[in-house]
Amino acid sequence: MSALTQAERRDYCIRFGDNALILGQRLGEWCGHAPVLEEDIALTNIALDLVGQARLWLSHAGAVEGEGRDEDALAMKRDVLDFRNVLLVEQPNGDFAHTIARQFLYDAWAVPLYQALSSSTDETIRGIAEKAVKESLYHRRHSSEWVIRLGDGTEESRARMITALDEFWGFQDELFEMDALDAKALAAGVGVDLAGLRPVWTAHIEAVLAQATLPLPGVTWRVTGGRRGRHSEHLGYILAELQFLQRAYPDAVRW
């Protein structure tokens, strides 16, 4: 069992950090625009939780890299090809059903992920996981309850929910990919068996869809690539908004 190099540990952390950062940024787009005030607060609360997780992941990545890059440097000064988030989280918000569908697929993964990471041999990762488990349980409850109400709701909400799930279903494989780094991280006790999360994810998804009286999506196409830096056309626009200020005023010390 060989230990992870610092660079490998950094790369492992950046994957989870980028997921949280980009998804948090997407949810932030709802601020002031949600269909009702209570959901405006709910979605932005979830966004804050995710950005908080991103800060912890990227801070740890910068620290183990040991070259002086902190969370801000990693978040604000990398470009599209260097981001390692999954394709799912960079997809557009669309209507409320799309946002809920995207969140639903992500949260059902995040819960078993962080439960598993709570046993990491890396103390900082353990700490991040223990905090994120509670947040993710709440996120999963929120998105699942909405899937049920939209699915088993009006004809319009049901149709929109089906469209949304069909649109994002094909991005699921990346959540359970195990490449060489994942395998090495798992062997070193730092990481988790991502492929092993799939049964738990599927069970939760199917149970909620059944309660929502929704069919399992029949979409067969699958796309991966975000974790290798091969992103959809959306990430560039997200980063342009996220990074503009820091790139336009690099010498600014205080905001």
* Amino acid, single-letter form, for residue 11: D
Rank residues 127 and 153 by Cβ distance to other proteins and give the closer one: 153
Rounded-to-integer distance, Cα 11 and Cα 67, Å:
14
In the complex, minimum distance from the CB of residue 248 to other proteins, in angstroms, rounded to a whole number: 32
* Binding region for other proteins (CB under 8 A): 35-38, 41-42, 45, 138, 141-142, 145, 149
Rank residues 152 and 166 by Cβ distance to other proteins and give the closer one: 152
Rank residues 85 and 144 by Cβ distance to other proteins and give the closer one: 144
In the complex, minimum distance from the CB of residue 51 to other proteins, in angstroms, rounded to a whole number: 15
In the complex, minimum distance from the CB of residue 106 to other proteins, in angstroms, rounded to a whole number: 18
Rank residues 34 and 63 by Cβ distance to other proteins and give the closer one: 34
* Amino acid, single-letter form, for residue 253: V
Rounded-to-integer distance, Cα 212 and Cα 207, Å:
9
**Under DSSP, is residue 51 helix (H, G, I), strand (E, B) or coil?**
helix
199, 209 in Cβ contact below 8 A?
Answer: no
Radius of gyration over every alpha carbon of the chain, rounded to an integer in angstroms: 18
44, 27 in Cβ contact below 8 A?
Answer: yes
In the complex, minimum distance from the CB of residue 101 to other proteins, in angstroms, rounded to a whole number: 18
